[in-house]
């Protein structure tokens, strides 16, 4: 979804990990070894986010929310869903425009600009990006799983369906409900292979999501 707005992604071979070792910029160990590198990496991502906007896929989901009870569960860390106008969003992997305390993870602050060494929380500890790094728990996974339990329709957009535990969330839903999977290179994982009511739509989110939303709104 975000790649079509011009953001580099974790998924692409030429994506945002280019020229960076993943563990150096997205792990607790990398943070301990080179705090300045990690801060610079996410500051660059934050600046890039200001240069792009929501695409037609983001906007179509807002139209869906006007008609149906809609919850967006995203692995993306940007704020493009919010900027498009969606209100019910669960960020599984954190939010790029926020920072949190290294002592108390419940102390989270809005942080749209550069995060620097010396920026501290009210407890006096250095702030870090509010991003779930490799090796860390996904705190909102239970909340997301509860939403899947009661879903009537699932739309999966632009996911490789290879990154767990998020890729397994669809397995929480009732087995008979409709699941739509939109992706330029759809990959059917174990959970999707068990769905009896799966529709795979091969294409870009900015093109195919509005089409599907139009059909659902009818």
**CATH number for the domain including 207?**
3.40.50.1220
Q: What is the number of structural domains in the chain?
A: 1
Q: Is 115 part of any domain?
A: no
Q: Is 70 part of any domain?
A: yes
Residue 163 has what pLDDT? 82
Task: Round to whole Å and give the CA distance between 134 and 118.
Answer: 24
Q: Is 194 part of any domain?
A: yes
* Six-digit token string for 164: 């767990």
Range of the domain at 157: 3-98+136-217
Residue 12 has what pLDDT? 55
Q: SS3 for 39-99, per residue?
A: HHHHHHHHHHHCCCCCCHHHHHHHHHHHHCCCCEEECCCCCHHHHHCCCCEEECCEEEEEE
Q: Is 120 part of any domain?
A: no
Q: Is 112 part of any domain?
A: no
> Which segments in the chain show pLDDT lower than 50?
15
CA triplet 192, 15, 62: central angle to 5 degrees? 60
Verify whether residue 93 is a known catalytic residue: yes
* 75 CB-near residues (< 8 Å, 6+ apart): 92, 93, 159, 163, 166
Q: Is 210 part of any domain?
A: yes
Exactly one of 58, 81, 91, 93 is catalytic; which is it?
A: 93
Residue 98 has what pLDDT? 98
Q: Is 130 part of any domain?
A: no
Q: Is 114 part of any domain?
A: no
Residue 35 has what pLDDT? 96
Are the beta carbons of 58 and 81 closer than 8 angstroms? yes
């Amino acid at each position: 979804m975000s790649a079509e707005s011009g953001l580099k992604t974790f998924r692409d071979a030429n994506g945002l990990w280019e020229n960076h070792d993943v563990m150096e910029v997205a792990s607790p160990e990398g943070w301990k070894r080179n705090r300045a590198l990690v801060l610079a990496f996410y500051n660059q991502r934050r600046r890039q986010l200001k240069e792009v906007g929501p695409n037609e896929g983001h906007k179509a989901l807002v139209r869906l929310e006007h008609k149906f009870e809609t919850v967006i569960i995203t692995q993306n860390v940007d704020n493009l869903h919010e900027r498009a106008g969606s209100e019910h969003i669960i960020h599984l992997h954190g939010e790029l425009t926020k920072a949190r305390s290294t002592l108390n993870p419940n102390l989270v602050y809005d942080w749209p600009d550069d995060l620097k060494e010396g920026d501290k929380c009210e407890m006096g500890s250095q702030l870090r990006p509010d991003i779930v790094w490799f090796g860390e728990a996904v705190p909102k996974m239970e909340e997301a799983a509860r939403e899947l339990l009661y879903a009537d329709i699932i739309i999966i957009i632009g996911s490789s369906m290879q990154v767990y535990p998020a890729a397994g969330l669809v397995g929480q839903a009732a087995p008979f409900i409709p699941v739509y999977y939109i992706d330029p290179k759809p990959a059917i994982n174990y959970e999707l292979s068990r769905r009896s009511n799966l529709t795979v739509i091969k294409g870009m989110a900015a093109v195919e999501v509005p089409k599907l939303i139009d059909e659902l709104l009818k």
